[in-house]
Structure 1
Amino acid sequence: MRDDRRLRRRRETVQEILDTALDVMAVEGVAALSMAEVARRVGVRPPSLYQYFPSKTAVYDALFERGMRETVEVLEPYRAGLSEDPRGAILAGQQATVAWAMANPVLAQLLYWRPVPGFEPSPRAFEPAVRQLEILRTALQAAVQAGQLSPAAAAEEGIALYTALVSGVISQQLANEPSAQVEQGRFSRLTRTAVDMFFHFYAPEEGESHGSDLRRGRAPAAD
């Protein structure tokens, strides 16, 4: 029981440190995280923080993992809709992801930008990002099987294009109107348009054409 209480207190302290680090980063900037300021707000001496995190990089790493796990949790509920309407499920999941990013701008910056020079997430922290990519690939493959997308959409280039479109919406919104409502944001309200553009570009076609050749990364035949 004593060990359980000790572990519980440790977990609670770890979460308090991370929450406080987010508050500091929100004010000072993501790259300007001060361990001394975190310690002051938590109410401990700076050396005491290193009992929980050996370095500032470890704090960034834990926050990156937290953010990625939260985005995966946001997407998971929409997987159930892939069997009926993959396109609708993809759009709903993407709108939820954009809403999460706007509600968590500091974590979103850490996930979608590179605000901290030299920081690279550890394999453990990056594991949820791999899971997120697997969810996207599964969703796009479901849309292919439903006849909503061409097979190229679920290939590596198609996945790269999709993530570029969506991360672009998030990045532009955070950079220009971070406090806007998701439904009214100049860029966040374009989430549906971005997804529609992707589905239009990778629309399935019968036979080959210049357009389908380009979608598959081939140059069109000379006329």
Structure 2
Amino acid sequence: MKASEAATSAGPATAGPVPVGDRRSRRRAETREEILDIALDLMAEEGVAGLSLAAVARRLGIRPPSLYKYFPSRHAVYDALFQRGQEQYRDTVTKAAARAPEPGLAAIGTAFDAGARWIMGNQTLAQLLFWRTVPKYAPTPQAYAPALQIRDLMHGLVLAAVERGELHPDAAGPAGLDLLASLITGPVSQQLANEPDVPFEEGRYMPLVARLPDLFAAAYPPTDAAAR
């Protein structure tokens, strides 16, 4: 009997015990995520800048000093939440752009729509990500890395629109990308400031999101050569 046949006849191998170190790492990771969830709930209740680590510890059922084993400071909690939010936002707009019926402006519009919907559904995180509501907090390079990936994604979508003759090549420059980011910020900021509890489809400013690609194209109309 071959060794492989012997293994098959003996039945499936059973997993051995999880090493103690792995169990501890898993529990630590789970506790960190629980702390972040509690922090997010408190930020929604008390305001993004009003986060108290003592309140987080009480809700978790531990003494405040024990919390510092997981996060050394309040800004460290903000940083972990910033990275979590940016990764979620990045994944949302990336998947939306990939589902667009066409590349270029159509994909930009699909990404904008998905991003705006994510922001409306995650308003507390969005305040931390896009409006810098916590005094003296700035994200670390690691936490900010997904935001740069989002910019790279949008750059690629703009380049595709340029190649399709939908935009002037200048649209793919730094000023063009800054304008593109500013366009989506406007309607979303207005919606959150005036009607934060209104559903996306009923919002006063949300219909403007669908018009943003055309506004961008009006700012960077294609040249005759690019349009051919």
TM-score by length of 2: 0.87
CA distance in 2, matches of 1:134, 1:159: 10
Where in structure 1 are there 5+ consecutive unaligned residues?
Answer: 208-223
CA shift, 1:40, in A, is: 1.0
The answer to whether the Cα contact below 8 Å between 1:20 and 1:38 also exists between their aligned partners in 2 is yes
The answer to whether the Cα contact below 8 Å between 1:82 and 1:139 also exists between their aligned partners in 2 is no
What is the total number of aligned residue pairs between the two structures? 207
CA shift, 1:85, in A, is: 3.1
Q: Give the match for residue 94 of structure 2.
A: 76
Moved more, 172-181 or 50-59: 172-181
Matched position secondary structure for 1:178: coil
The 5 Å alignment of 1:126-205 reads 126-205=144-223
Letter in 1 for 2:35: I
Q: In the alignment, is residue 46 of structure 1 matched against residue 64 of structure 2?
A: yes
Runs of 4+ in 1 over 4 A off after TM superposition: none
CA shift, 1:15, in A, is: 0.5
CA distance in 2, matches of 1:57, 1:126: 14
Looking at CA atoms only, which structure, 1 or 2, has the larger radius of gyration?
A: 2
Letter in 1 for 2:81: L
CA distance in 1, matches of 2:184, 2:173: 17
CA distance in 2, matches of 1:146, 1:12: 46
The answer to whether the Cα contact below 8 Å between 2:109 and 2:212 also exists between their aligned partners in 1 is no
The answer to whether the Cα contact below 8 Å between 1:25 and 1:31 also exists between their aligned partners in 2 is yes
Matched position secondary structure for 1:183: helix
Where in structure 2 are there 5+ consecutive unaligned residues?
Answer: 1-18
Query: RMSD in angstroms over aligned alpha carbons?
Result: 1.5
The 5 Å alignment of 1:15-164 reads 15-80=33-98, 84-164=102-182
CA distance in 2, matches of 1:175, 1:96: 20
Moved more, 73-82 or 5-14: 73-82
- Percent identical residues: 47
CA distance in 2, matches of 1:91, 1:166: 10
